[in-house]
Structure 1
Amino acid sequence: MIKGKSTKLKSFQNANCLIRCMDNVDFLAEDIKNMGMFPRFNMEDFQFLNVKYQDESLKGIYIPMLCFCDIPLKNLSKHKGIYGSYALAFKREWGYENKIAPIHYLFENTDLFFETKKIFEYAEEKRDSSIYQYLFNKLFFTKPQEGIQNGMKKLYTDEQEHRYVPDLSKAKTDINQFYLDTKFDYNLDDLNDAIRNYDQFKLSFKANDIKYIILNTQSDKEKIIKTILNSNRLDNNSQYEMLTKIITLSEIEEDF
């Protein structure tokens, strides 16, 4: 791989695309209509680190992000119960160009786990803002090996998650880069709506960036086809290209 260039190597273990799952066909139609997606604040739990930040135990952090996975398409049916039955699957090159990166799964009882704790302790002792910034930038792309989700124990490494986390400091905005759940007194929907006022944080895509438009059932096709054909962001060739990429979960289960 040449420095600064996206790799063209094909994976034989993972999907050769980045899959953005969603649980509602209307969300999918909206992204296609806009030919782009905005990050939203999600809460990530870091209690497993057992560290302090500004004299308080670090628990949950609200982080602006868009999440993707690169699990094989044939495994999406197992994924849909939590993340939804609709998805856009993008070429990996598009993800590279947009600084989408795989997250690090931090296993407890490893040297890196204990080193992270030590750096937090040092930053807490010195109140060093530059070290804090480094640590939180790392946490934005960190998740524990396993945890509790929707009341059930989950192995997070199965997700093979990638993230887009925008640098909010690049815009003149009152929106913080992150929020601690212990001090979170904002309306989450209002915060997410506020991000949409800044086009520089939008992840835009073109028809040829997409590999698949994944639907739950055949009955969803009419809505998505109409969305594509009515789009003023797509020329005729791009509309036809998008139409050829529509596939349902049942077709994936049969053909992949």
Structure 2
Amino acid sequence: MDYNPISADTLFHYTSSLSILESILVNEFYPRYCLEDHSMFNSKHNRLPHLCERAIPMVCFCDIPLSSIRNHAKNYGNYAIGLSKDWGKSKGISPVLYTYEKATTAGYLRGSYHESVGKLIDLNSIKPATLDFIAVYLELFLFMSKPYEGTLWRNGKYVDGVRFYDEREWRYVPSLDSMLQYKFKPSLTKEEFTADDIRNYNNTKLQQFKLSFSPSDIKYIILDSETEVLDFIKKLRYIKAKYSKDDIDLLTTRIITMEQIRKDF
């Protein structure tokens, strides 16, 4: 029986610049705070200030086949690295839960959240094996939830009318144990996120939650145009500390361009 999947066996991370892609190949992934709107989890009678716009530490991927990637690339950039889905599963990277304000899933989460997390005063005061500890797990589960559609914060402003459901997002968020051990901020307010000094300071603290991969995990390297390929290969050959000559030779076979994707996929 033939099977025609609508998802890829690769997790792609798209970015807007060649320099960022090169940095990922050298340094691997570091989580960064991303601004999202969680106001759908507020109830009409009990609105929590931090359940609106807040920035969450994450690394984002999608499993959209290359034949369907054009709209996604418009929002997130024409450069990407694609890693095997088996690698992602081994790292605990998970598909997000898509929901909307009147959905039953949002209602259940909203009620549970207000009965537990909403009553916490200080997340740093929680103790294992308590209801407070369970509440923080619920808080982190909300970090893995996303509106079916809404506004996307991109380049310092909101883009309206984005159907997030089409992004098929897989997400990495640092674990609860890490959050408690290093006492980093589980989320930033919009005011904190838009203050460059506060955002940059907290992003720097997230470097201890590095998400690593090996050259054999890489299935695709996507550049914008064919004119960039030769210079990019030359730069790869200078990354001696991370990749062997055989690794570099293998990675050069994994390079494709957005130009090729637009024409041939």
TM-score, normalization: structure 1?
0.86
Quote the residue 1:170 is aligned against: 178
Quote the residue 1:7 is aligned against: none
Matched, 1:194 2:205: yes
Quote the residue 1:42 is aligned against: 34
What is the identity, as a one-letter code, of the residue corresponding to 1:12?
Answer: P
Quote the residue 1:59 is aligned against: 52
**1:91 alignment partner, one of 75, 84, 89:** 84
Per-residue CA shift, 1:115-135, capped at 9, x if unaligned?
Answer: 112112322675462343122
Matched, 1:73 2:66: yes
How far is the alpha carbon of 1:212 from its aligned partner?
0.6
Structure 1 residues 120 and 194: alpha-carbon distance in aligned structure 2, compared to 1, 3 A threshold: closer
CA contact (8 A) 1:33 1:228 kept: no
Q: Bigger shift: 96-105 or 219-228? A: 219-228
Structure 1 residues 242 and 116: alpha-carbon distance in aligned structure 2, compared to 1, 3 A threshold: same
How far is the alpha carbon of 1:168 from its aligned partner?
6.3
Sequence identity of aligned pairs in percent? 30
How far is the alpha carbon of 1:12 from its aligned partner?
1.0
What is the identity, as a one-letter code, of the residue corresponding to 1:249?
Answer: M
What is the identity, as a one-letter code, of the residue corresponding to 2:198?
Answer: N
Quote the residue 2:95 is aligned against: 102
How far is the alpha carbon of 1:136 from its aligned partner?
1.0
RMSD: 2.3
Matched, 1:30 2:15: no
**1:148 alignment partner, one of 143, 151, 155:** 151
What is the identity, as a one-letter code, of the residue corresponding to 1:144?
Answer: P
How far is the alpha carbon of 1:50 from its aligned partner?
2.1
Name the SS of the counterpart of 2:80 in structure 1: strand
What is the identity, as a one-letter code, of the residue corresponding to 1:106?
Answer: T
How far is the alpha carbon of 1:246 from its aligned partner?
0.5
Matched, 1:136 2:147: no
Structure 1 residues 224 and 11: alpha-carbon distance in aligned structure 2, compared to 1, 3 A threshold: farther
How far is the alpha carbon of 1:63 from its aligned partner?
1.1
What is the identity, as a one-letter code, of the residue corresponding to 1:141?
Answer: M
CA contact (8 A) 2:40 2:100 kept: no
What is the identity, as a one-letter code, of the residue corresponding to 2:235?
Answer: T
Structure 1 residues 246 and 131: alpha-carbon distance in aligned structure 2, compared to 1, 3 A threshold: same
State the number of aligned residues.
242
Name the SS of the counterpart of 2:162 in structure 1: strand
How far is the alpha carbon of 1:224 from its aligned partner?
2.0
CA contact (8 A) 2:137 2:176 kept: no
What is the identity, as a one-letter code, of the residue corresponding to 2:170?
Answer: H
* Mapped partners of 2:50, 2:222: distance in 1: 41
CA contact (8 A) 1:21 1:87 kept: yes
Structure 1 residues 182 and 250: alpha-carbon distance in aligned structure 2, compared to 1, 3 A threshold: closer
